[in-house]
Amino acid sequence: MDARQEELRGRLGALGFDEVRFATLAELRGEKLREWLAAGHHGEMQWMERTAEKRLWPELVLPGARSIIMLGVNYWSEEGRVMRDEDKPVWARYALHEDYHDTMKPGLVAAGRAIEEIYAVEEKAYRYYVDTGPVLERGWAARAGLGFIGKNAMLISRRHGNWLFLAAILTTVEFEPDEPVRKKIAGAVAGGETEPVGLLCGKCTRCLDACPTGAFAAPGVVDARRCVSYQTIENKGVIPRELRAGIGNRIYGCDVCLEVCPWNRFARAGRAVLLVARRELAGLTVREILALTAERFAEVFRKTPIKRVKLAGLLRNACVVAGNSGDAELIEPLLKLVAHESALVRTHAVWAVRKLGGAERLAEARATETDAGVLAEYAAEV
Ligand code: B12
Ligand code: SF4
Ligand code: SF4
């Protein structure tokens, strides 16, 4: 192995990246992304459509690109094991941190400097991304051997389970590629270039069976439109009525298909060099969230990814959680939201009050309601 490449791997590891692996750029499973988009599985994420070609061909992102360095940051923590409280709204584990796009950035800046120093190149010889760039991160991570793609569509690491954030550095520097994960099946070797979904899943289907909203169109294929993560984070509008019950008490994101995966048994607490935990958020009650003002929202969710859904998005999600709780004492705080300035919030508050058996308390608000969408919610079946 090239001494400079190993020096780079060591320096990136010391910066806080738990996985540092290299792949040579070539075309990636393009048909999978195209099929996914053609089936409309991306919902309203039009940016996925706009950037599809760039995602498949990194030369369009960085002219002259030859390699990709795939980085993984383990965000598992031992407290994570005990932090679920059934009486409280449940947050995706990644969200109980300051926004990883921001906290991982200094690590990526320093990684870029390390490439410059070791390979005597300039800044234009690389581009780094964490989630936000047009890079098929899971596909490249599988190619570089960080793990395999599970039936839950996640990049699963044999060392860290499902709990890896991914980041990528495209570069014009050439590296020796690392080996993808392989498996011996009946004397032949599977994996590598073909990267089959579920390579190390065996007969297990736990994730597919556990999904609360039936979001898997096939093993490894998530129809985002049915996914709780999409509905509670990416969707800016009304959450389809037929999916609301399945959301249960998940207020932001969803980890169900990650949590049930037996590969997590190998996960150990991460070093958290590039992360800042915000576990206090898991202690918020749905009543406290329903009562949030704009000022309080800005204060409580400062620096977290949750601020991206804005107050109205979070109140919408909280109404769904409240409606699913069966707790009639939440009718009172929900009635305040039936008069909220945002029609989005009013719609979901009306649903929740009706779901909790408080329909008769809505007469006054209904008489003055003018928004067609909210009126449709009053008229709909619960
Ligand atoms: C759009 C998006 C979403 C969408 C769509 C999810 C999806 N399954 O595609 C929504 C909003 C639903 C979502 C949800 C989540 N996401 Co997301 N998301 C992304 C994003 C921005 C693009 C993913 C994408 O390209 N999807 C299109 C499909 C077709 O691509 P793909 O699943 O990546 O598949 C490729 C490879 O699997 C490979 N492949 C090889 N063989 C085969 C075979 C088949 C059949 C298929 C389909 C693919 C395949 O090729 C495919 C395409 O070439 C990435 C960041 C990025 N830039 O990549 C993060 C990313 C995938 N998300 C991430 C996370 C953490 C989540 C959530 C866990 C968040 C949460 N707790 O709520 C959930 C998990 C849901 C799930 N089971 O996938 C992490 C995943 C880390 C990991 N270890 O895998 C990423 C990489 C962000 C990051 N930088 O860490 N996400
Ligand atoms: S994140 Fe949740 S809703 Fe989305 S596919 Fe996984 S289990 Fe289903
Ligand atoms: S839960 Fe089972 S089927 Fe799903 S990804 Fe994990 S090992 Fe594979």
Q: What is the pLDDT of residues 236-291, one digit of tens each?
A: 999 999 999 999 999 999 999 999 999 999 899 888 899 999 989 999 999 999 99
151: Cβ below 6 Å to ligand 3?
Answer: yes
> Which pLDDT belongs to residue 77?
87
Q: Kindly give the distance from the C-alpha atom of residue 147 to the centroid of ligand 3, in angstroms, as a whole number.
A: 13
Average pLDDT of the residues of the chain: 93
* pLDDT interval class at 337 (50, 70, 90): very high
| Domain edge (last residue) among 194, 221, 256 | 194
177 and 46 share one domain? yes
Structural domain of 60: 3-75+97-194
Percent over 90 (pLDDT), the chain: 86
The pLDDT-based confidence of 188 (bands split at 50, 70, 90) is low
Domain boundary among 131, 166, 194: 194
Residue 83 has pLDDT above 60, yes or no: no
Q: Is residue 309 one of the residues assigned to a domain? A: yes
Identify the residue with better confidence: 37 or 81: 37
Query: 75 near 270, Cβ under 8 Å?
Result: yes
Which pLDDT does position 133 carry in this prediction?
Answer: 85
Q: Total structural domains in the chain?
A: 2
Which residue numbers are catalytic?
Answer: 131
The answer as to whether 212 is a domain residue is no
- Give nearest CA residue, ligand 1 atom 30: 33
* Judgement on whether residues 176 and 288 belong to the same structural domain of the protein: no
Residue 318 domain flag:
yes
**Distance from Cα 235 to the centre of ligand 2, integer Å:** 15
Alpha helices in the chain (DSSP H): 3-14, 30-38, 46-50, 52-56, 78-82, 100-103, 105-119, 137-144, 206-210, 228-229, 241-247, 256-259, 286-290, 294-300, 310-325, 331-337, 343-355, 363-368, 372-379
Q: 330, 352 in Cβ contact below 8 A?
A: yes
pLDDT exceeds cutoff 50 at 212: yes
Is 49 in contact with 2 (CB distance < 8 Å)?
Answer: no
How far, in Å, CA of 304 to CA of 301, rounded? 5
Residue 380 maps to a domain? yes
- Whether the pLDDT of residue 82 is over 50: the answer is no
Q: How confident is the model at residue 151, as a pLDDT?
A: 98
Indicate if 55 and 162 belong to the same structural domain. Answer: yes
Mean pLDDT of 25-54: 91
Model confidence at 187: pLDDT above 60: no
Q: Please tell me what DSSP assigns to residue 301.
A: T
For ligand 3, atom 7, which residue shows the shortest CA distance? Answer: 201
Instruction: Report angle CA 310, 48, 35 to the nearest 5 degrees.
Output: 135
In a domain, 342, yes or no: yes
Q: Please indicate, yes or no, if residue 209 is contained in any of the structural domains.
A: no
The distance from CA 350 to its chain's CA centroid, rounded to whole angstroms, is 29
E strand or H helix at 23:
strand 19-24
Q: What b-and-e string marks burial along 49-80, b requiring 16 or more CB atoms within 10 Å of the CB?
A: eeebebbbbbeebbeebbbbbbbbbbbbbeeb
| Residue-level length of the chain | 382
User: Do 19 and 161 share a domain, yes or no?
Assistant: yes
Of 137, 164, 194, which residue is a domain's last?
Answer: 194
Q: Is the pLDDT of residue 186 over 90?
A: no
Residue 81 has pLDDT above 60, yes or no: no
| Cα 78 to Cα 56: distance, rounded to the nearest angstrom | 37
- Statement to judge: residues 181 and 321 lie in one domain: no
Same domain, 190 and 71: yes
What mean pLDDT is predicted for residues 21-30? 84
**Domain assignment of residue 136, yes or no:** yes
Q: Element (H or E) spanning 217, and its range?
A: strand 216-218
Can you give the pTM of this predicted structure?
0.95
- Quote the CA–CA distance of 170 and 127 in Å, as a whole number: 5
> Among the atoms of ligand 1, which is closest to the Cα of residue 138?
33
Among 137, 151, 235, which residue has the most ligand 1 atoms within 8 Å of its CB, making it the best to mutate?
137
171 and 60 together in one domain: yes
Confidence (pLDDT) at 132: 78
End-to-end CA distance of the chain: 63
Residues 48 and 170 in one domain: yes
Q: Residue 185's pLDDT band (boundaries 50, 70, 90)?
A: low
Mean pLDDT, range 151-165, rounded to an integer: 97
Asked if residue 182 belongs to a domain, the reply is: yes
